Amino acid sequence: MLCIALLPIAAKAAEPDPVVRSLPYPFSHVVSFISDVDEQRPWHGAAIHRVFNEDLGLTISDSLWPQGGTPLSSALFLGPGRLNRRNSGAGSEPTFALLLRQWHRGNIDHFHGWSEDGVLQLQNQIDPPLALSAVRTSQELPKVPVAISGQEAQSVRFYFSAEPPADLTIALHDTQGKSMSFNSGSIGRGKTVLVKVGKLGWIVEAIVPSANSGSTPLAINPMLIDRVDFIAPSCAGGCPVSLTRVERDHFSRQIVLDEIPWLKRWNIRPQITTSHGGNTLISGFGIEGAALDLPRTPGTFFTDPATVVHREAMADRIDTYAYYSDLLRELSVRAVWSYFPARGTDQYSFVVSDSTASDLTNLTTTYNGLYDVRRTSILNFDPSSVQAFADGMRLTAPEMSEEDRRSLYCAPTCDISQGDALPVLLSDSLYLINKGQKVRHFWYTHFGSGGSDFEASQEEPLTPKTLKWIRKLANQVYNFDGSVSLDRRPWSPPANTWFGYQIMQAGIKPNLKVGAGGSSVEITPWEDPVTHVTVPDLKAGTRDLHGLTLYVSDPEQASVDVGGKSVDTFTRNPPDETGKPSITIVGDNAPTPIIGKVALHDRGDVETRSGKFVDATPANDFVSLEADAAGHAEIVFEPWNLDLWNTSHLHFAIRKRLSTAGSSAASSDAALKIEMLMEDGGVVTALESAQPPADHEGSSVWVVPPLTVPDQWRTHTLDVARLAWPKPLANQQDWRRPPLPLGRVREVRISLANAAPGEAIDIRDLRALRPSGNGEAPDGGKLIAGRVTRDGSAPLALVPVQLTSSSGEVVDTTTDVDGYYFFYHRRREEQLTIRALGSSGLSCFPQQGRKIEVVKNEAELDIAINECRH
């Protein structure tokens, strides 16, 4: 960690843009996080985000590795062909499945590099080079240090002075008497290994598989290889090619090519990847010529000449075996953080505040098709003692009290980037905001690493100090206690969303048109000059415009057109500090239907308490309530299973229809109320009213203006950050945030009051929206997946699962050894029936319902046989 002192920067005067607000309303600052997943166990990550995202309502996101190796690493694979089926520590879920679910909840959205990089690299220089002078030529390799011999490197690479013969077979032999052969069909060669031949020559690569399908041990341990045979009948009279080097490690382009199809099918498509440190650095990004050189310290395995101590980052080096930046771009990656950057400011950003929007458009690029990511860091305080730490904090918080500075001390072994030191970062952001600075923080940290002597658990994943400060951040974001003024509200978006927002802001102004009336907005998609992708991607709805706030003359009359298509997911905002009203476009690419195109009766139990209820049908994608003689109508919908994750907005459309029974009224006085009773006991209400209710104790409330004009659809997009809160509990021990639309929904109550007899209201597209920067598949297809268990925990393998689409298509699969089933590339807006088929003829549907509407990636459509719905 660089030790650079940070001083608050004086605010600079800046004229606000006449159309585009710098940040989404109602926010004036950014406090976001880009994490390193080092040392974070899968169960710990899930528990941390239960607190961050569910208990507190923040949309903070995390990272993972596609490939790991050490016990309980937060990685999807252990290597090619090896899903990480190790127990996650969270119930009976294997690690790969837990991470997949966390990804599609939005709790994880970026990569910390591709590889955990826990396996050292060995290089054996063949001097003199070994000529392939016969049908069989052998090369012996020296023993490796015992400390390295147990590491599971899957990749064995061979460098040749010229292109090796097409009929080459390679046989590996180890010190335990095991052997394995790779023929011309199983050796990696050509552009799957090396896109461009470099100065080190041609490469062929053998990837050692597992001993058995799905097992962890390898068929042969490459670290124990003592002899290699090169067999090529075409070399009977000698070939003009020589072996120059043998390498063993656990990362290469060919490995990425093996694993990336899984990620594409699962729609794990991040916009950001960072460069992990690790034992080789080869999967990271760095400019050519930069390297880390380690000393060959006597008494360590570094004294072995085969152990690589000159470490380079090769992700964008096209003439190396580790080049894969082109594959990342295919996967939707648009920005990277360099381990060895071209500019020092691109490694860490030490600018802690900025009063202008220039930081949103001053983006840099080093690698073809990719932006550079700046992460915010802070000087590495002296942790040797409480007093030394408190003295160091004066540099960044000169007016913070001595008592407060001392209270942030972590431990002598707790450096500033560790998870237990998170309160220091949070305190810095909030200190500067409350001192009047304009903050744009993209904090670099490790959520799951320690540093103090605190022992994390499922129940208490965070230190008490961290919990205290993350609650302070949540209060500042949401203004739970009513004390946070508009100019002190920070936005805390997921990492992908925040960087995508910067890319969008850099290009939006020339592609934006506001009509003569000042309230009609047209956005023309453009090609981003660095990534060469279209922004916004119309296949992803309004994902790329999430947070875009535009000043308009009249929000109530506003309209938005994007690429010729009308968009209705935008909030209508009152005047901000400029005195001007605005609208904010909200991402609609990861919605959770509460009322959608599938009938409520297919998703839960519906009770009509008054009036008349008409459910959604294939012909009408809305539900209707008709008032009784007293002017009332009410239904209660109890979903069988409806979970909301990272909700930032609620969206719905309504239409009122006057009674046809002789009424002469030209307008409606009826008032709609939508209430969601959450599993934690909280109630969230959207209410048609001219003014907020005088008393909403126990319920968080949105108030929307009454729709009085009949037979017209009216859309509402409501910001969770603008709910009217009941008074939260002030006692720190019993503190509980106000009700939020997060977690499991127990009941949805919809009522109509003060209506004329026979008057009706139609409701459609009642959806919870959340920010998502996840990329789109080229065909726009979505993942549909879940788990079949005996009782919600014990997995059932090899169970037939059948999908029937609304078009009549039937697809069959079976569950894997962990009980999971997967259907890929499902079309958006199709309706599916999914059934687990028992041997007795019993059909069990997912807990979410008899029909599923495909609107996003779904990885939790679970079927519990003991709670079978059939």
pLDDT at residue 360, as a whole number: 63
- Give SS3 for 691: coil
The answer, yes or no, to whether residue 356 has pLDDT greater than 50, is no
Q: How confident is the model at residue 262 (pLDDT cuts 50, 70, 90)?
A: very high
The predicted structure's pLDDT at residue 208: 93
First and final C-alpha spacing in the chain: 58
Reported as a single tens digit per residue, the pLDDT across 290-300 is 999 999 999 88
pLDDT at residue 7 in the model: 32
pLDDT for the residue 783: 98
Predicted confidence (pLDDT) at residue 345 exceeds the cutoff of 90: no
Angle of helix 464-478 relative to helix 422-434, nearest 10 degrees? 30
Looking at per-residue pLDDT, the higher value among 592 and 346 belongs to 592
What residue ranges do the domains of the chain occupy? Answer: 122-249, 508-585, 592-769, 782-867
In this structure, the strands spanning 490-491 and 534-535 are unpaired
pLDDT given at position 3: 34
Torsion angle (degrees, nearest 10) of CA 374, 48, 96, 78: 60
Q: What is the pLDDT of residues 495-544, one digit of tens each?
A: 999 999 999 999 999 999 999 999 999 999 999 999 999 999 999 999 99
- Its sign, for the CA torsion 560, 563, 564, 566, is negative
pLDDT at residue 4 in the model: 33
- 839: pLDDT strictly greater than 80: no
pLDDT category at 662 given cuts 50, 70, 90 is: low
- Is the pLDDT score of 15 beyond 50? yes
How sure is the predictor about 9, in pLDDT bands with cuts at 50, 70 and 90?
A: very low
Task: Output the average pLDDT for the chain.
Answer: 92
| pLDDT classification of 13: cutoffs 50, 70, 90 | very low
Give residue 813's identity as a one-letter amino acid code: T
Which H or E run includes 673?
Answer: strand 671-678
pLDDT band at 355; cut points 50, 70, 90: very low
Which pLDDT does position 842 carry in this prediction? Answer: 77
The predicted pLDDT at position 301 comes to 86
Average confidence (pLDDT) over 632-655: 98
Tell me which residue of 564, 562, 561, 552 sits closest to 519, measured CA to CA.
552
Instruction: Identify which has the larger pLDDT, 8 or 105.
Output: 105
C-alpha distances in angstroms, 691 versus 69, 519, 701, 714, 753? 58, 24, 11, 19, 16
Question: Quick check: 2 pLDDT over 70?
Answer: no
Residues 592-769, CATH architecture: Sandwich (2.60)
**What pLDDT is attached to residue 870?**
60
Contacts of 591 (CB under 8 A, 6+ apart): 651, 767, 768, 769, 855, 856
Torsion, CA 75, CA 80, CA 83, CA 85, rounded to 10: -80
Q: What is the pLDDT of residues 362-390, one digit of tens each?
A: 899 999 999 999 999 887 788 899 999 99
More confident call, 5 vs 276? 276
Q: What are phi and psi of 797, to 5 degrees?
A: -90, 155
The fold adopted by the segment(s) 782-867 is Immunoglobulin-like (2.60.40)
Residue 120 has pLDDT above 50, yes or no: yes
Using CA atoms, how far residue 294 sits from 38, 301, 309, 647, 685, in Å, is 21, 12, 5, 47, 60
Cite the DSSP H helix spans in 370-421. 386-393, 402-407
State the alpha helices, DSSP H only, in 173-296. Answer: 253-266
Residue 145, Cβ density class (10 Å: 0-12 exposed, 13-18 middle, ≥19 buried): middle
The C-alpha angle 91, 97, 102, rounded to 5 degrees, equals 90
Residues 22, 438: Cα–Cα separation, whole Å:
11
For the ranges 322-326, 642-646, 708-712, the lowest mean pLDDT is seen at 708-712
- Cβ(679)–Cβ(744) under 8 Å? yes
Tokens 């650095």 belong to residue? 281
Q: If you average pLDDT over residues 39-63, what whole number do you get?
A: 97
- CB distance 703 to 687 below 8 Å: yes
pLDDT at 264: 98
Query: Using CA atoms, how far apart are residues 443 and 61, in angstroms rounded to an integer?
Result: 12
Give CA–CA dist 417/424, Å, rounded. Answer: 10
| Confidence grade of residue 5 (pLDDT, cut at 50, 70, 90) | very low
Residue 352 pLDDT greater than 50, yes or no: no
C-alpha span between 30 and 300 (Å, rounded): 45
Which tokens in the block code for residue 105?
A: 């909840």
Going by pLDDT thresholds of 50, 70 and 90, the confidence category of residue 392 is confident
- The answer on pLDDT for 643 being more than 80 is yes
The residue whose two tokens read 């939790």 is 860
Query: In the predicted model, what is the mean pLDDT of residues 462-471?
Result: 95
C-alpha 394: how far from chain center? 35
Q: Quick one: pLDDT band at residue 150, thresholds 50, 70, 90?
A: confident
Confidence (pTM)? 0.95
Q: For residue 659, give both structure tokens.
A: 């009674």
Q: Average pLDDT, stretch 714-742?
A: 85
What pLDDT sits at residue 96? 97
Can you tell me the mean pLDDT for 229-252?
Answer: 96
Residue type at 771 in one-letter notation: P
Give per-residue pLDDT as tens, 734-783: 678 999 999 999 999 999 999 999 999 999 999 999 999 999 999 999 99
**pLDDT for 204-223, tens place per residue?**
999 999 877 655 678 899 99
pLDDT in tens, 470-494: 999 999 999 999 999 999 999 999 9
Which pLDDT band, with edges at 50, 70 and 90, does 397 fall under? Answer: confident
Give the pLDDT band (50/70/90) at residue 417: confident
Which residues are CB-contacts of 252 (< 8 A; sequence separation ≥ 6)? 155, 157, 188, 193, 205, 321, 322
pLDDT digits (tens, 9 = 90+) for 539-593: 999 999 999 999 999 999 999 999 999 999 999 999 999 999 999 999 999 999 9
Per-residue pLDDT at 447: 95
- Which residues have C-beta within 8 Å of that of residue 781, sequence separation ≥ 6? 267, 824, 825, 826, 827, 828
pLDDT at 149: 87
Amino acid symbol at 500: G
Range scoring the smallest mean pLDDT among 532-546, 616-630, 729-743, 851-865: 729-743
CATH of 122-249, one of 3.30.70, 3.90.470, 2.60.40, 2.60.120: 2.60.120
Confidence of residue 88 (pLDDT cuts 50, 70, 90): very high
Predicted local distance difference test score (pLDDT) of residue 476: 96
pLDDT confidence of 708, banded at 50, 70, 90? confident
- Kindly tell me the burial class for residue 142, based on how many C-beta atoms sit within 10 Å of its own C-beta (0-12, 13-18, 19 or more): exposed
Q: Is 473 or 868 the better-scoring residue by pLDDT?
A: 473
* The amino acid at 719: D
| Cα of 413 vs its chain's centroid, Å | 30
In this model, does residue 128 exceed pLDDT 80? Answer: yes
Q: Do domains 592-769 and 782-867 have the same CATH topology?
A: no
Percent of the chain at pLDDT > 70 equals 94
**Arithmetic mean of pLDDT, 180-206:** 93
Of the listed ranges 36-50, 333-347, 372-386, 437-451, the least confidently predicted one is 372-386
pLDDT interval class at 177 (50, 70, 90): very high
Q: Is the dihedral of CA 547, 102, 601, 675 positive or negative?
A: negative
* pLDDT band (50, 70, 90) for residue 727: confident
Task: Report the amino acid identity of residue 423.
Answer: P
For the cut 60, the answer to whether the pLDDT of residue 359 exceeds it is no
Name the one residue in this structure whose structure tokens are 């052969």: 181
What SS3 state is found at 258? helix
With tokens 């409520």, the residue in question is: 600
